[in-house]
Amino acid sequence: MGEKKRILTGDRPTGRLHIGHYFGSLKKRVELQNSGLYEPYILIADVQALTDNFNNPEKVRKNVREVAIDYLSCGIDPEKSTIYIQSMIPEVAELTVFYSNLVTIARLQRNPTVKTEIAQKKDLFGESVTYGFLGYPVSQAADITAFEGEVVPVGEDQLPLIEQCREIVRKFNSIYGEVLVEPQAVLSSGKRIKGLDGNEKMGKSLGNAIYLSDSEEEITKKVMGAVTDPSRIRKDDKGNPEICMVSYYHNLFSTKEECKIVCEECRQGQRGCVACKKQLANNIINTLKPIREKRKYYEENPEIVDKILMDGTKKAQEVAKQTMKKVKKAMRLDY
Ligand code: TRP
Ligand code: SF4
């Protein structure tokens, strides 16, 4: 005890998780959890989700439990990892206020992740972004430091946020004393999985994702609609698997031998796309089967999920309280 490095990571509950999340981060989190070297805290970032969904609180609320179920179904084990709800940790909001003095508006505007996201959210923000959204890296710094997170496994897109957190920590420590722990980002990728339509990114807004919660029928339907080599019209047309999303997914879900055969037969015009897709759909269905079955169990027993969330949150509250004591003392706010 005490020897284990604390991991801090999490997701915004704006939708259910898909296989892009699975290969990009969940799989790695489960591995880290099971290595026994870490003490993982996994937050469901509902407050952060509201920064770009403030007009849709019901969606955020609903997805808190969905994301928790996705975690549990993938092998996040509440005996080993603490899953908690961000909004139930008031210290995070308090720290956000304290840290907001230590970061400039210009620095936030330069943050590449924030910059990209603002550009993507013109529909929501128009010409002027909210204070809350611009400042979410500050609240993310609070998420991490409230738990003295040492290791933050994230995707590449999150690196600028961790860098900003490290800057805040250094600034805080230089002014108030060495209290905060400077976290380290660890790339959790995993690879970024392309969408079924060939888009570089799999995403719910893009409609090109396979969800961990998808039924067998939904998986088959989506795979049947995947983008293939457009020059193949007849079954004996010679194809190029390199530009086919079905072949791309075979590489993720099928055996090496199967992949080799897919490529050879496709190139020689000996393989029909429909059969090729059916084979892939079956392999995806089988791979995700254990996840789907666990998911069903938790869906049927929501009280178990809620208990896990409440127990985790209670434990998290204790940790955040301890950090806050140190912070307030350092900031001369310990009245
Ligand atoms: N920003 C992350 C996302 O978009 C979620 C998140 C919130 C997070 N707080 C965090 C990730 C702290 C790692 C550490 O999914
Ligand atoms: Fe893609 Fe398979 Fe059709 Fe080749 S045979 S184009 S790999 S779906």
Residues 234, 160, single domain; the answer is no
Report if residue 278 sits inside a domain: yes
- Phi and psi at 3, nearest 5°, equal -85, -25
Host domain of residue 286: 214-295
- Residue 250 near ligand 2, beta carbon < 6 Å: no
Q: Tell me what pLDDT residue 189 has.
A: 67
CB-based contact 233:36 (threshold 8 Å): no
Q: What is the mean pLDDT of each run of 10 residues along the chain (335 residues)?
A: 87 95 91 97 98 97 98 98 98 98 97 95 93 98 98 91 98 98 88 88 84 96 94 89 95 96 95 95 97 97 98 98 98 97
Residues 306, 273, single domain; the answer is no
Q: Could you give the 3-state DSSP secondary structure of residue 154?
A: strand
Nearest to 44 by CA among 9, 7, 80: 9
- Residue 42 near ligand 1, beta carbon < 6 Å: no
Nearest to 310 by CA among 73, 59, 83, 13: 83
What is the Cα–Cα distance from 113 to 124, expressed in whole angstroms?
17
Q: Tell me what pLDDT residue 110 has.
A: 96
Residues 223, 309, single domain; the answer is no
- Residue 86 near ligand 1, beta carbon < 6 Å: no
Residues 188, 46, single domain; the answer is yes
CB-based contact 1:33 (threshold 8 Å): no
Report if residue 46 sits inside a domain: yes
Per DSSP (E only), the strands in the chain are: 5-11, 38-44, 82-85, 151-154, 184-187
Ligand 1 midpoint to CA 9 (Å)? 6
- Residue 320 near ligand 2, beta carbon < 6 Å: no
- Residue 247 near ligand 2, beta carbon < 6 Å: yes
Q: Tell me what pLDDT residue 2 has.
A: 57
Q: What is the CATH number of the domain that holds 140?
A: 3.40.50.620
- Residue 165 near ligand 2, beta carbon < 6 Å: no
Q: Tell me what pLDDT residue 1 has.
A: 53
Report if residue 181 sits inside a domain: yes
The pTM score is 0.93
Report if residue 261 sits inside a domain: yes
Query: What are the tokens at 94?
Result: 């308090």
Q: What is the CATH number of the domain that holds 225?
A: 1.10.240.10
CB-based contact 25:68 (threshold 8 Å): no
- Phi and psi at 109, nearest 5°, equal -65, -25
Residues 169, 27, single domain; the answer is yes
Ligand 2 midpoint to CA 138 (Å)? 46
Number of separate domains in the chain: 2
CA distances from 73 to 82, 146, 229, 291 (A): 15, 27, 34, 5
Residues 127, 257, single domain; the answer is no
Residues 316, 291, single domain; the answer is no
Q: Tell me what pLDDT residue 234 has.
A: 85
What is the Cα–Cα distance from 160 to 109, expressed in whole angstroms?
12
Report if residue 147 sits inside a domain: yes
Query: What are the tokens at 110?
Result: 């330069």
Other C-beta atoms lying within 10 Å of the C-beta of residue 294? 17
Strand order in the sheet with 38-44: 82-85, 38-44, 5-11, 151-154, 184-187
Q: Tell me what pLDDT residue 41 has.
A: 98
Residues 263, 314, single domain; the answer is no
- Residue 271 near ligand 2, beta carbon < 6 Å: yes
Per DSSP, 43 falls in state: E
Tell me which residue has tokens 């923000």. 125
CB-based contact 212:73 (threshold 8 Å): yes
Of the residues 26, 143, 162, which should be mutated to test ligand 1's pocket, given the most ligand atoms within 8 Å of the CB?
143
Ligand 2 midpoint to CA 237 (Å)? 10
Residues 97, 246, single domain; the answer is no
**Alpha carbon of residue 280 to chain centroid:** 25
- Residue 143 near ligand 1, beta carbon < 6 Å: yes
Residues 109, 139, single domain; the answer is yes
Query: What are the tokens at 314?
Result: 């209670």
Report if residue 199 sits inside a domain: no
Report the run of H or E that residue 257 belongs to, with start and end. Answer: helix 256-267
Nearest atom in ligand 1 to the alpha carbon of residue 48 is: 7
- Terminal-residue alpha carbon distance, the chain: 32
Closest-lying ligand to the alpha carbon of 40? Answer: 1
Tell me which residue has tokens 């912070």. 327
Longest Cα–Cα distance in the chain: 80
Nearest atom in ligand 2 to the alpha carbon of residue 232 is: 6
Residues 83, 169, single domain; the answer is yes
- Residue 135 near ligand 2, beta carbon < 6 Å: no
Q: Tell me what pLDDT residue 206 has.
A: 76
